[in-house]
């Protein structure tokens, strides 16, 4: 039985970012229909967008810090 090689950290990060972008696109595509159902969903959508933006900013900073560390150590 062959063993599967683990993806590099960069490849894993890029794959994760691709999945996040795909999920965001699905949310944005579904948002108009959901928001039209009432003000509660509009508020939840705006809260979700703010939360995701904050999370992505944190991920961006984490990746930037890791990139700077790898360049410094390499």
The answer as to whether 8 is a domain residue is no
Residue 21 pLDDT > 80: yes
pTM of the model: 0.56
The answer as to whether 67 is a domain residue is yes
The answer as to whether 53 is a domain residue is yes
The answer as to whether 61 is a domain residue is yes
The answer as to whether 9 is a domain residue is no
Residue 73 contacts residue 66 (beta carbons within 8 Å): no
The answer as to whether 68 is a domain residue is yes
Residue 67 pLDDT > 80: no
Q: Residue 48 is part of which domain span?
A: 31-74
d(CA 57, CA 10): 18
pLDDT of residue 1: 52
Query: Based on the structure, what is the number of domains in the chain?
Result: 1
């Amino acid at each position: 039985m062959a063993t599967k090689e683990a993806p590099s950290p960069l490849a894993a990060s890029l794959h994760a970012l691709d999945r996040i972008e795909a999920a965001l696109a699905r949310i944005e595509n579904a948002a108009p229909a959901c928001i039209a159902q009432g003000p509660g969903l509009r508020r939840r959508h705006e809260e979700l967008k703010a939360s995701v933006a904050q999370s992505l900013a944190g991920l961006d900073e984490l990746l930037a810090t890791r990139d700077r560390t790898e360049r410094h150590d390499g």
